[in-house]
């Protein structure tokens, strides 16, 4: 067992880590698995989840919002980036399903941005293949091409 002082000291360490930058539960576990005793780490994570310092569903939402503002990614790429953070697959799928329409629009806009940049040095077919490899859906690529031609 551990003391209240030990709990507070380690909790403060973990808090500094997640306040500096929002983190997923899995990221916290990985970071501290070798430095904090397992049961103590479990209790700290539970405490921080109850206090809403660690909230993976909110983390998914904020991360996707940041991606849509800052990057050109396909929905598939977004999913893989979230899986890499150790987030629950069902939570990711649920969020994407609930926001499908706006994410489809984002993917089309993202494809349009990439097509506009790549057409300078590549043929349209090559750009299409590039986007397909990146996980873009065929119908979103076609919508982007239609918008480009307008």
- For position 150, what pLDDT does the model report? 85
User: In 3-state terms, what secondary structure has residue 35?
Assistant: coil
Nearest one of 133, 131, 86, 81 to 109, comparing CA atoms? 131
- For position 26, what pLDDT does the model report? 95
The answer to whether 106 and 136 are in contact (CB under 8 A) is no
- For position 1, what pLDDT does the model report? 85
Q: What is the DSSP code (8-state) at residue 2?
A: -
- For position 77, what pLDDT does the model report? 98
Q: How far, in Å, CA of 6 to CA of 139, rounded?
A: 56
> Could you read off the pLDDT tens digit of each residue along the chain, which spans 150 residues?
899 999 999 999 999 999 999 999 999 999 999 999 999 999 999 999 999 999 999 999 999 999 999 999 999 999 999 999 999 999 999 999 999 999 999 999 999 999 999 999 999 999 999 999 999 999 999 999 999 988
Q: How far, in Å, CA of 103 to CA of 93, rounded?
A: 12
Please give the model's pTM, rounded to 2 decimal places.
Answer: 0.88
- For position 147, what pLDDT does the model report? 95
Cα angle 100, 103, 106; round to 5? 155
């Amino acid at each position: 067992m551990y003391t209240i002082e030990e709990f507070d000291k380690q909790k403060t360490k973990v808090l500094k880590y997640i306040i500096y930058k929002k983190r997923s539960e899995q990221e916290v576990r990985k970071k501290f698995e070798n430095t904090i005793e397992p049961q103590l780490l479990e209790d700290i994570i539970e405490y921080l989840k109850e206090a809403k310092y660690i909230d993976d569903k909110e983390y998914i939402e904020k991360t996707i919002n940041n991606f849509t503002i800052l990057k050109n990614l396909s929905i598939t790429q977004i999913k893989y980036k979230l899986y890499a953070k150790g987030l629950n697959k069902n939570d990711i799928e649920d969020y994407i399903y609930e926001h499908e329409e706006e994410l489809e629009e984002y993917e089309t806009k993202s494809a349009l941005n990439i097509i506009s940049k790549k057409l300078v040095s590549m043929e349209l077919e090559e750009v299409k293949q590039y986007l397909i490899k990146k996980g873009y859906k065929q119908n979103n690529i076609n919508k982007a091409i239609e918008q480009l031609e307008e």
